[in-house]
Each structure stands twice: as structure tokens, then as C-alpha cells.
């Protein structure tokens, strides 16, 4: 036992360790205890203020706005001159009021956004100069879309609605876990998050080959938000899904959800480029997307990761009724499939995100052995090389948005799997894009 100042310094060091580990509650506890022992040391207060700031930011990012607001108020009280903290506090208050309003007007079993949508008689915009879309998607139409979006043009609203409705008809018939075998002469490319980075998506198709019946693709969630070409990505992926329904697959990610879309840009982008109804129809379609894909009975591909209970099996995923609960919520199998992350330590631990959990190599090993798998493939996190193989080769993360948000300097990656079920990794750099910043359509407090 040292002097009060020495004991306080030791608590501060523990707080610093917790801060580095992003364990904000523990950091706040250590800094507060240090202050109680020695209330004259300024660094204790500044460190605690930073912990409040970081916890507020973390809660804001995972949409826990009431918890975030409490911390923003503390930050503003301790640092009244911090204009950014005051702005984020105000924005948090606005979002809480908006969410309360939306909840108040929420109607159970509300009619579909497609109800009353008269596609047949909907007129094309006068400036639309592309090919006509009939009752089936064509490669000509897809190729025109690609060029149209590259040149900053939009798709006719009639055709955008038509594409979403066609894909809804396809995916609602798919199981919660799609099962795909790679036939001789074919391969499948697994891609991670693309997050509205349209020009990097086109580079993926350049490097991996364009989708076809023999050149299958699986996009493992988080197609939208953050990047400012999310509508272009969503419409192009959907067009390919319509064109190649049996060889082009889409898993749902945690950003194919209403709350995330409201905060991180997709809703705002739909409104700016098309209509609010377009967003509502996309939202309905997102809730129909499969949650996982099993490739060759060897690779379980899902956006987030594994479960809080070792008893969960692939059969539980097969039986999961994804239509019963449109949004993943804060608990349950769907939430865990969209939000969890791997950790290096064995066992399970709290999530640094504040949602879901973290799972260790022993958890992955048991799941793979219990289900006869070689590995799980997941996305959900930036990796500096675009991918990472961990948990003794049984947990693979792939992330396909290089230089994420124009700021991370990471590479992107994708994985090719052929009929021999060997994994072939390709890394790639970001490509130039028009001068539109990420998060251009996001909620004000996150720009």
C-alpha cells in the first residue's frame, strides 16, 4: 500500500489500460477512484473526460442514444467550450425525439410500401435515355446501369422499384441459410463489406470477373451506408440477383437495418436520389435477405459471427424464421449473426461495440467440429490486408471496402472458392472516385 497519490497513479494506469482496450466503463471507474484518492491531479479529470467522450461516441455509433446523451451532457458540463461535444449532444437529443415520434406513429402489420405502387403505368422521367426494362432483367440493362452510375446518372424510378420488387420475390423464397455447392467448371467469389464504395465494387468485378452462371458471387452484408454510392451498389447487386438468381447471393449485414440506415446515410441517400418510398421498399427487402450461406457444407458464411451458446447448430440457423422479426433487436440469434466479432482470448467476452459479444478460438473450434465445418467466413470488421485468418485457420474475416471511408488506408479483399473448396485470396487497393465525401447523406452528427 503506497501513499494516496501513488495508489491514485496506479488506478490511473489501470484506467489507461482499460481505455486502450476500449473498455470505457472500467476506465471511468478507475479514473473516478483515482480522483477520490487524489482530487488535485488534473490528468485524472482530463482522462476521465476523454473516457466519457469515447463512451458517448461508442454509444452513438451503435444507436444507444439515451445512454450517449447522458455522457454528452457530462462532457459538455465538464468542457462547456467543446463545440463538437455540444453539437453531438444536440443531435442526440434530436434523434431521440425523432425515434420517439416514429415509435408513436408505428403501426403493427403496416401495409407494404409496394401496396398501390402501379409500376405498369408509371411514366419514365423525361431525361431517362437508357434501355427499356421488360419482365426480365437483361445483361444489356445491367451493363447500361453500370455506365449510367459511373457517370453520375440515376436509374428511372420505375425501373428501380421494379428491380427491388423482383428481388423481393426471389429472396423471400430462399431459406434463411442458403446452401450452395461449387460444381465442376464453376467458382464462387465471397466479398465482405462494400459500404457504398461503388467504384471499388466495379474494381472487384474487374479483378474477379463479372458475375455469370459459372462465376458465382456472395456479398456478405453491409452493402450500404457510410459510402455515398449506396443506392448504386444496392441496385446493381439487386439487378445481378435478378439476372442470376441461382449464382448470385446476398447475406444480410448489420447495416441492412432501419436504425443503421437512418444514421449512416442510406435513408438520406434514397431520399436525395429517389424517394422515401424507395427507402421503405429497400428496408422491406433487407428484412427478407438470408442471414447465412453454407458453401459445400464446408464454409459457414455470415456477416458477424458465432453465438452465445455452444448448443446452436446449423439446423438452428436453418429453422430460424427471419420473417418473424424484421429488425435484429438487441438479443437473439439474428442479432448475434449480424453483430458478433472474434477475439484472441478463449471463451466469450463483452463486445467492444456494445452490441453482441466476442468469441474465442475455442468457441470457433467447437462450432466447426460440431457442424462438420472447415471454417467460418465472416466480415463486419476492417482488416488492413483486406482479410485475416485467425482461430487456427477456422475463422476468416474478409472486408471488401479498401481505404474505408477514405481514411483507413486498408486494402480490400475477396475470396475465390472452386470445386476443390480451396480458398484463394486476392487483395486490392482503392480506386479513384468522384469528389463526394463518405457520409455525405448521414445524420448531421456523424458527418
Which sequence positions are flagged as catalytic?
Answer: 255
CA–CA separation, 354 vs 56, rounded Å? Answer: 11
Q: Pinpoint the alpha helices (H) of 107-180.
A: 139-150, 157-171
Q: What is the largest CA-CA distance in the chain?
A: 82
CA–CA separation, 74 vs 30, rounded Å? Answer: 17
CA 90 vs CA 57, 72, 81, 83: distances in Å:
13, 9, 14, 11
Contact 427, 385 (CB under 8 A): yes
Question: Which of 188, 242, 182, 252 is CA-nearest to residue 220?
Answer: 252
C-alpha cell at 243: 439476372
CA–CA separation, 292 vs 299, rounded Å? Answer: 10
CA–CA separation, 214 vs 4, rounded Å? Answer: 70
CA–CA separation, 297 vs 186, rounded Å? Answer: 16
Contact 221, 380 (CB under 8 A): yes
Question: Which of 387, 430, 370 is CA-nearest to residue 406?
Answer: 430
Between β-strands 177-180 and 292-295, what pairing exists: parallel, antiparallel or unpaired?
A: parallel
At which residue does the C-alpha cell 443503421 appear? 260
What angle (nearest 5°) sits at the alpha carbon of residue 406, between those of residues 401 and 408?
75
Cα-Cα end-to-end distance for the chain? 48
Amino acid at each position: 500500500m503506497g501513499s494516496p497519490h501513488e495508489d491514485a497513479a496506479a488506478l490511473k494506469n489501470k484506467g489507461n489500460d482499460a481505455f486502450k482496450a476500449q473498455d470505457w466503463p472500467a476506465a471511468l471507474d478507475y479514473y473516478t477512484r483515482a480522483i477520490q484518492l487524489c482530487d488535485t491531479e488534473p490528468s485524472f479529470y482530463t482522462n476521465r473526460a476523454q473516457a466519457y467522450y469515447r463512451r458517448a461516441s461508442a454509444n452513438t455509433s451503435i444507436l444507444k442514444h439515451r445512454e450517449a446523451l447522458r455522457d454528452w451532457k457530462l462532457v459538455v458540463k465538464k468542457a462547456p467550450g467543446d463545440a463538437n461535444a455540444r453539437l453531438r449532444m444536440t443531435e442526440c437529443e434530436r434523434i431521440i425525439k425523432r425515434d420517439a415520434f416514429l415509435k408513436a406513429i408505428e403501426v403493427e402489420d403496416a401495409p407494404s410500401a409496394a401496396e398501390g405502387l402501379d409500376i405498369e403505368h408509371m411514366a419514365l422521367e423525361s431525361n431517362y435515355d437508357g434501355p427499356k426494362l421488360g419482365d426480365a432483367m437483361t445483361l444489356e440493362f445491367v451493363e447500361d446501369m453500370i455506365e449510367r452510375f459511373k457517370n453520375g446518372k440515376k436509374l428511372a424510378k420505375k425501373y428501380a422499384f421494379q428491380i427491388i420488387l423482383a428481388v423481393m420475390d426471389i429472396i423471400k423464397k430462399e431459406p434463411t441459410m442458403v446452401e450452395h455447392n461449387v460444381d465442376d467448371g464453376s467458382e464462387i467469389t465471397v466479398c465482405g463489406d462494400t459500404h457504398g464504395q461503388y467504384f471499388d465494387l466495379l474494381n472487384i468485378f474487374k479483378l474477379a470477373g463479372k458475375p455469370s452462371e459459372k462465376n458465382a458471387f456472395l456479398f456478405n452484408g453491409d452493402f450500404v451506408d457510410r459510402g455515398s454510392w449506396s443506392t448504386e451498389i444496392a441496385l446493381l447487386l439487386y439487378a445481378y440477383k435478378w439476372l442470376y438468381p441461382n449464382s448470385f447471393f446476398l447475406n444480410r449485414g448489420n447495416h441492412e437495418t432501419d436504425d443503421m440506415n437512418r444514421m449512416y446515410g442510406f435513408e438520406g441517400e434514397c431520399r436525395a436520389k429517389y424517394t422515401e418510398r424507395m427507402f421503405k421498399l429497400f428496408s422491406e427487402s433487407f428484412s427478407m435477405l438470408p442471414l447465412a450461406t453454407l458453401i459445400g457444407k464446408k464454409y459457414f458464411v455470415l456477416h458477424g459471427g458465432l453465438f452465445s451458446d455452444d448448443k446452436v447448430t446449423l439446423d438452428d440457423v436453418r429453422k430460424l424464421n427471419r420473417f418473424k422479426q424484421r429488425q435484429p433487436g438487441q438479443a437473439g440469434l439474428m442479432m448475434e449473426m449480424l453483430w458478433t466479432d472474434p477475439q484472441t482470448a478463449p471463451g466469450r467476452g463483452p463486445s467492444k461495440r456494445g452490441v453482441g459479444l466476442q468469441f474465442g478460438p475455442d468457441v470457433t473450434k467447437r462450432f466447426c467440429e460440431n457442424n462438420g465445418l472447415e471454417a467460418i467466413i465472416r466480415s463486419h470488421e476492417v482488416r488492413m490486408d483486406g482479410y485475416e485468418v485467425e482461430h487456427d485457420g477456422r475463422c476468416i474475416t474478409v472486408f471488401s471496402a479498401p481505404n474505408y471511408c477514405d481514411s483507413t488506408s486498408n486494402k480490400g479483399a475477396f475470396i475465390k472458392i472452386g470445386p476443390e473448396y480451396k480458398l484463394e485470396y486476392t487483395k486490392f487497393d482503392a480506386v479513384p472516385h468522384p469528389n463526394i465525401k463518405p457520409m455525405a447523406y448521414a445524420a448531421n452528427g456523424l458527418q
